[in-house]
A = this chain, B = another copy of it.
Amino acid sequence: MAEPAIDAEIIDRATAALIAEVREGRRKSIARLMSIAESTGSGGKPALAELHRHTGRAHVVGLTGVPGSGKSTMVRALTQRFRETGRTVGIVAVDPSSPFSGGAILGDRIRMLDLSGDPGVFIRSMATRGALGGLARATLDVVDVLDAAGFDMVIIETVGVGQDEVDIVQAAHSVVVVSAPGLGDEIQAIKAGVLEIADIHVVSKCDRPEAGETVADLRAMLRLGTLGRDQASTWKVPVVATSAQKREGIEFLVDAIDQHRAHLTESGERTTRHRRILETRILKAAEDIVRDRLLRQNRVRLNTLLDEAVARDLDPYTAARRLLGEG
């Protein structure tokens, strides 16, 4: 009985030291705690549990848009503008690359865009890998690390496709959806899925002649009430026109984000939203725990059930209930 107590104490002391370093903004410690958050083992959980106590100061912006919409350029311009207004920025780029080899493309691209020399900016790439649900959990833990480290703004960048990524971006305080004029048919169809979750719409590449139409379309959809995630909210979703090439409009996007932030606080919606985000995180964590347990502790039982299911003597639903010790 003595050993676990000592182990727990060692973990606690190491955890406390690491979290103190993160809160001082030490970059190596931030990176280390992020790696702990990303690793699938549950060894990092005490650190993450303790970390949560020190979060809640950062404003989290979820920025999404389909391939080709100019997200990465937008993130860069937004970051530069936030820096000009004296704010520090953490960026989490959720990378759509391989779930197998684990890649890092968006993040690398942002890094190349001349932001990484600035100590007021921290960039982290998250590669899609491992189990379902794991990406959302790990991403939100990494956001917690940046929050606890004192970054004023945290930007989560995702490609707006797939339920997982919609879940991630919805866990932000302000959801920004980037649209570009004149993309292909199928891409527009995919985009339709994320338009509804926007707190702020931004149209990129407004130096192009077709951009006016895209802006008008979004405004019409908003007026007709076919967009807008939260019927109960009094927030009026704006459409911001930008051109990264002409370096235009980014200040309006920053204004819109700041106004949305103020709105959340004044209306009390910040608490509602925070509560909804935490609900998602708790349920995802509970699912993770249950999945781990099913796979690890019930392996023999699962194999027996699988034998029967392969022989078609058992269907997946009955097998699932039996795996959970029912029926």
A residues with a Cβ closer than 8 A to B are: 45, 48-53, 55-56, 66-68, 72, 95-101, 103, 105-106, 128, 132-133, 135, 159, 161-167, 184, 186-187, 189-190, 192-193, 196-197, 229, 271, 274-275, 278-279, 281-291, 294-295, 302, 305-306, 309-310, 312, 315-321, 323-324
Chain B residues contacting A291 (CB-CB under 8 Å) are 283, 287
Contact B278 A193, beta carbon cutoff 8 Å: no
Task: Give, as a whole number of angstroms, the nearest-CB distance from A141 to chain B.
Answer: 9
A226 closest partner in B (C-beta): B101
Please indicate the chain B residues that have their CB under 8 angstroms from the CB of A51 in the complex: 315
Q: Judge whether B317 and A49 touch: CB under 8 Å.
A: yes
A97 touching B190 in the complex, CB below 8 Å, given contacts A163-B135, A317-B285: yes
**A312 — nearest CB in chain B belongs to which residue?**
B53
User: Given the complex, which residues of B lie within 8 Å of A67, measured CB to CB?
Assistant: 66-67, 184, 186-187, 190
Look across to chain B and name the residue whose beta carbon is closest to the beta carbon of A189.
B105
Task: Say yes or no: B45 contacts A317, CB within 8 Å.
Answer: yes
| A-B CB contact pairs (8 Å), 14 listed | A67-B190, A97-B193, A98-B192, A101-B196, A105-B186, A132-B133, A161-B162, A271-B310, A278-B306, A279-B306, A283-B291, A283-B295, A287-B290, A290-B290
What is the minimal beta-carbon distance from A55 to any residue of chain B, in angstroms?
7
Instruction: Assess whether B163 is in contact with A161, with CB atoms less than 8 Å apart.
Output: no
Q: From known contacts A96-B193, A193-B97, A323-B286, infer whether A317 and B48 are also in contact, taking CB-CB under 8 Å.
A: yes
Q: How far is the CA of A285 from the CA of B55 in the complex (A)?
A: 34
Residues of B within 8 A of A275 (CB): 306, 310
Whether B289 contacts A190 by the Cβ 8 Å rule is: no
State how many copies of this chain the complex holds: 2
Does A161 contact B96, Cβ atoms closer than 8 Å? yes
Closest residue to A67 on the B side, CB-wise? B186
Kindly list chain B residues whose C-beta atoms are within 8 Å of the C-beta of A159.
161, 186, 190
**Which B-chain residue is minimally distant from A133 (CB atoms)?**
B132
In the complex, A317 Cα to B305 Cα: how many Å? 30
Q: Find the B residue at minimum CB distance from A135.
A: B163
- A196–B100 Cα distance when bound, in Å, is 8
Nearest Cβ on chain B to A284's Cβ, whole angstroms: 8
Shortest C-beta distance, A31 to chain B (Å), equals 21
Q: Is the CB of A282 within 8 A of B310?
A: no
The 4 closest A-B pairs by CB, nearest first: A162-B162, A285-B320, A52-B315, A286-B320
Closest to A162 in B: B162
C-alpha gap A41/B302 in the complex (Å) = 25
Q: Least Cβ distance of A318 to chain B in Å?
A: 5
- Tell me how far the C-beta of A219 lies from the nearest C-beta in chain B, rounded to whole angstroms: 19
Q: Assuming A184-B68, A189-B96, A287-B291, is B162 touching A319 (CB within 8 A)?
A: no
Separation of A163 and B102 alpha carbons in the complex (Å): 13
Q: Which residues of B contact A101 (CB under 8 A)?
A: 196
Q: CA of A81 to CA of B247 in the docked complex: distance in angstroms? A: 52
